[in-house]
Structure 1
Amino acid sequence: MQEVRTMRYLDDPFDMLANVRAQLYRLLDEFAAAVEPMWAGGWVPATDIRVGDGEVTLEAEVPGLAREDIEVTVAGQVVTIAGERKAERAEGEEFVRQERPTGRFERSFSLPWALEAEGVQAKLENGVLRVTVPRAKVTVVKVEAEEG
């Protein structure tokens, strides 16, 4: 007797497409993060994104930034983190060597989930910005077709 094997993604082709979309977004974000500083002459903070039960959490490394130097916006499915790190030096000082990046940055993350702009929380602690965004609740509505 021959064993019959089914391909898991054939059960739900939309699930497979959602995974491909998520991988594509991840690759595009990694590429943009790698080349953006070269184009803009600025810097971008390393960022992790996690999804939990009913929320998405972004953690960005922003050492040396104060809360008032950072902006967080949520529009649709896009979370944007922006800010500016200013060069610190006393009057009359010049840099002999400057390795820490300065200037403005902006990163936008297009997420594959509907987000709830109300209830967004941002916390800056030990140089890490943690942004928690609630996922929108999906409402299923059954519609009856009319005759005629």
Structure 2
Amino acid sequence: MEVDAMFGSFGADPFGWSPWEQLERLQEEMDRLFAARRPGETGQPPVNVWIGEDDALVTAELPGYDGSNLDLAVHGSTLTLKGQRDSEEEDDVRYLLRERRNVRFTRRLELPFEIDAEHVEARFRDGVLTVKLPRSEADRPRHIAIEAS
């Protein structure tokens, strides 16, 4: 019997196995399982990011939030979105089912260009945050005229 068939890649290369990779896979699987048990409570809002030549557009689904419990920050090429939603706390109530809990999140998105922080636009409507992030003038490509002789 071949060593590969018996031990997989571990047997073929004793240094090829990474405990960190195995732990990362385990963490991803646990996140997937727990997210499936608690619908809608993954902790991170789903986002879409569109990149254009001059700007980026980010949308985030944030049901149950309003503008007052969200915070946006821009530094360099990073957009940071923070939010906090508190559920109603009632001490004298026995819950049959309680899926809505206090939620805090921080989501960092790294863009492929520097952001012009002075001209960022953000709008929150119907539970969706839309952020327009223009590319910094210094980060835009420059077209150089070529002289022919």
Question: TM-score, normalization: structure 1?
Answer: 0.61
For the pair 1:78 / 2:78, whether they are aligned, the reply is: yes
Unaligned segments of structure 1, at least 5 residues: 1-30, 143-148
User: Once structures 1 and 2 are overlaid, which stretch shifts more, 82-91 or 51-60?
Assistant: 82-91
SS at match of 2:68: helix
Cα RMSD after superposing both structures: 3.1
Partner of 2:118 in structure 1?
118
CA contact (8 A) 1:86 1:103 kept: yes
For residues 44 and 90 of structure 2, the distance between their equivalents in structure 1, rounded to whole angstroms, comes to 25
Partner of 2:54 in structure 1?
54
For residues 80 and 58 of structure 1, the distance between their equivalents in structure 2, rounded to whole angstroms, comes to 11
Question: TM-score, normalization: structure 2?
Answer: 0.61
For residues 131 and 101 of structure 2, the distance between their equivalents in structure 1, rounded to whole angstroms, comes to 22
Cα deviation, residue 101, structure 1: 5.0
Cα deviation, residue 90, structure 1: 5.4
For residues 51 and 94 of structure 1, the distance between their equivalents in structure 2, rounded to whole angstroms, comes to 48
For residues 66 and 129 of structure 1, the distance between their equivalents in structure 2, rounded to whole angstroms, comes to 9
CA contact (8 A) 1:42 1:105 kept: no
Cα deviation, residue 85, structure 1: 1.1
Alpha-carbon distance change, 92 to 106 in structure 1, aligned in 2, over 3 angstroms = same
CA contact (8 A) 1:61 1:127 kept: yes
Identity of aligned residues (%): 27
CA-to-aligned-CA distance 1:33-77 (integer Å, 9 cap, x gap):
x95xx7xx9711000001235221111111010111000000000
User: Once structures 1 and 2 are overlaid, which stretch shifts more, 88-97 or 68-77?
Assistant: 88-97
User: Once structures 1 and 2 are overlaid, which stretch shifts more, 71-80 or 125-134?
Assistant: 125-134
User: Once structures 1 and 2 are overlaid, which stretch shifts more, 133-142 or 67-76?
Assistant: 133-142
For residues 48 and 121 of structure 1, the distance between their equivalents in structure 2, rounded to whole angstroms, comes to 16
Unaligned segments of structure 2, at least 5 residues: 1-26, 35-40, 145-149
Alpha-carbon distance change, 92 to 107 in structure 1, aligned in 2, over 3 angstroms = same
Partner of 1:88 in structure 2?
88
Partner of 2:130 in structure 1?
130
SS at match of 2:96: coil
Following TM superposition, the consecutive aligned residue runs of length 4 or more in structure 1 with deviations greater than 4 angstroms are: 139-142
Partner of 2:102 in structure 1?
102
Larger Rg: 2
- The count of residues paired between Structure 1 and Structure 2 equals 108
CA contact (8 A) 1:57 1:133 kept: yes
